[in-house]
């Protein structure tokens, strides 16, 4: 599934999103993460020592994840904007990091379901 031009424009203005993963014990974990969008419309999440993180281990065991990016365009009047992505995650090692200072492990999400709100289309 690919993002619309409007969705891509919005995502490229944002630096943080929230990644929800499923832990081996069935519990949920939700973390703020830095991200980029690659040429194939996949979400690439990196971090400092990503390979040691719980979210990375969770993605290795359970590939289904959710990712949300949101902000407020205005508070008066109240104008929230958001995009929710559900998809399949790959926990990859020994790859070029998406941003400087990040480790060589990433989580890459292939979107399977995308919904947005307040983006103007």
Domains of the chain: 5-117 (2.30.110.10)
User: Under a CB-based contact definition with an 8 Å cutoff, are residues 38 and 26 in contact?
Assistant: no
- Mean pLDDT across 72-91: 96
Residue 97 confidence (pLDDT):
76
* Distance, CA of 70 to CA of 81 (rounded, Å): 6
- Please tell me whether the peptide bond between 79 and the residue prior to it is cis, using omega within 30 degrees of 0: no
pLDDT at 103 over 90: no
Give residue 61's pLDDT: 95
Mean pLDDT, range 101-108, rounded to an integer: 90
pLDDT (0 to 100) of residue 121: 60
Average confidence score pLDDT of the chain: 94
Task: State yes or no: pLDDT of 96 exceeds 90.
Answer: no
Sequence-distant (6+) residues with CB within 8 A of 23 are: 29, 54, 58, 62
Confidence class for position 101, pLDDT limits 50, 70, 90:
confident
> Is the Cβ–Cβ distance between 29 and 58 less than 8 Å?
yes
DSSP code for 54: H
- Mean pLDDT of all residues in 60-64: 96
Grade residue 114 by pLDDT with cuts at 50, 70 and 90: very high
**Alpha carbon distance 121, 119 (integer Å):** 6
């Amino acid at each position: 599934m690919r993002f619309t031009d409007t969705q891509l424009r919005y995502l490229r203005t944002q630096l943080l999103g929230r990644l929800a993963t499923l832990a081996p014990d069935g519990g949920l974990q939700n973390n703020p993460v830095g991200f980029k969008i690659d040429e194939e419309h996949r979400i690439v999440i990196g971090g400092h020592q990503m390979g040691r993180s719980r979210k990375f281990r969770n993605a290795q065991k359970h590939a289904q994840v959710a990712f949300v990016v949101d902000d407020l365009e205005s508070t008066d009047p109240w104008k929230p904007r958001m995009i929710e992505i559900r998809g399949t995650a790959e926990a990859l090692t020994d790859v070029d990091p998406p941003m400087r200072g990040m480790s060589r492990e990433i989580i890459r999400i292939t979107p399977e379901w995308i919904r947005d709100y307040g983006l103007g289309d």
